[in-house]
Structure 1
Amino acid sequence: MTTLDQAQAFIAALEQDRPSAIAPLLEPHLQEQWRRLFWRRSLKREKDMTTQTNKRLVEEFFAKVNKNDLAGAFAMIHDDVAWWSAGGEHLPFSGVKNKPEFIEAMNAVHAIFPEGLRLVPTGLIAEDDRVAVELAGHAVTADGRNYENLYHSAITFKDGKIVAVKEYHDTLYAKIVLVDGRR
């Protein structure tokens, strides 16, 4: 193979995103370095794909919640989930919930908001198997009161499903509107 042929094959492999095809075109002393570089690049690409997938799953989960497709949203939750929500003893849906308890709590929340609670993602940051999401919550209570709260959730994935959540929001505001019935 001529030098020109090697250069053309090298460029074609890069353009077709086939880095593994490049190693045989290199001098023997450079082949191992290229393989290590390619391996690191592959790991980074795999990690980037996972974080992007997890961000997409968070968006999909909240899209289902916003469409009142609770069964679809619940299907995205791992059976071993630990869902923690701020609020202490003041809010009945706060604390750590397993999947059945979380489903029960969400159904209770749905009873408070017959038209559903819209949780609109306003920012997402992902790393490894975790996604941090900021949400703007909008709803109307059964007796016609507006509910506008801000949320931050740290979501962890396992096997493509939500396995852990830490959910923060303005708990005093939630108590005033949802428990005390004021505002």
Structure 2
Amino acid sequence: MATDTQTRNKEIVAQFCTTFSTGDVDAILDYFAADALWHITGSIATSGDYDMVAFREFVTGVGQIAEGGAITFTYVDSIAEGDRVAAEITSTAVFVNGRTYSNEYSWHVEIRDGKIWRLREYQDTAHTVAVLAP
């Protein structure tokens, strides 16, 4: 049986997906602790660690290449234990290069004081490279 904390943390992740889909950078960053870190796994150009300064630049850049100014993230499901949430997420967007971005993710999220403190993202990096290639 899920605790109130686990339920709340799962709701934070689900609500974050909805907010990210708006492209509102300030609202997106409001979900994060000041010392948060987003890590994208893999060895492609977008892989690595993003503190909130770098993440602001990253999200702003995504808004410039996605028609409508954002990638739409859809929360599928999650499990939670303590302050950790493992979530299945999908995304879709049409980029200005005319290609459709449609990816699947596993997000491992750590919540502290109601804010995302760590997010580790696993995705289909081959798809990302194919869609973003010149």
| TM-score normalised per structure 2 | 0.92
- Normalized per residue, the structure richer in strand is 2
Alpha-carbon distance in structure 1 between the residues aligned to 2:14 and 2:24: 14
Residues 126-161 of structure 1: CA distance to partner in whole angstroms, max 9, x if unpaired? 110011111111000012211111111000011110
- How many Å apart are 1:101 and its aligned residue? 0.7
Q: Is 2:120 aligned against 1:162?
A: no
- How many Å apart are 1:97 and its aligned residue? 1.1
Q: State the AA in 2 paired with 1:113.
A: A
Alpha-carbon distance in structure 1 between the residues aligned to 2:74 and 2:40: 17
Match of 1:76 among 20, 27, 31: 31
Is the 1:64–1:70 Cα contact (8 Å) retained in structure 2?
Answer: no
Is the 1:80–1:98 Cα contact (8 Å) retained in structure 2?
Answer: yes
Alpha-carbon distance in structure 2 between the residues aligned to 1:146 and 1:83: 24
Match of 2:80 among 122, 126, 149: 126
Q: State the AA in 2 paired with 1:110.
A: G
- Normalized per residue, the structure richer in helix is 1
| Higher RCO, 1 vs 2 (CA within 8 Å, ≥6 residues apart) | 2
Following superposition of structure 1 onto structure 2, how do residues 162-181 of structure 1 map, counting pairs within 5 Å?
Answer: 162-178=116-132, 180-181=133-134
Larger radius of gyration: 1
SS of equivalent residue, structure 1 residue 52: helix
Q: State the number of aligned residues.
A: 133
- How many Å apart are 1:67 and its aligned residue? 2.1
Alpha-carbon distance in structure 2 between the residues aligned to 1:81 and 1:104: 15
Q: Which residue of 2 aligns with 1:86?
A: 41
Alpha-carbon distance in structure 1 between the residues aligned to 2:121 and 2:11: 19
- How many Å apart are 1:70 and its aligned residue? 2.5
Q: Is 2:94 aligned against 1:140?
A: yes
Give the share of equivalent positions with the same residue, in percent.
Answer: 30
Over the residues paired in the alignment, what is the CA RMSD in angstroms?
Answer: 1.5
Following superposition of structure 1 onto structure 2, how do residues 18-97 of structure 1 map, counting pairs within 5 Å?
Answer: 48-88=3-43, 90-91=44-45, 93-97=46-50
Q: State the AA in 1 paired with 2:18.
A: A
- How many Å apart are 1:68 and its aligned residue? 2.1
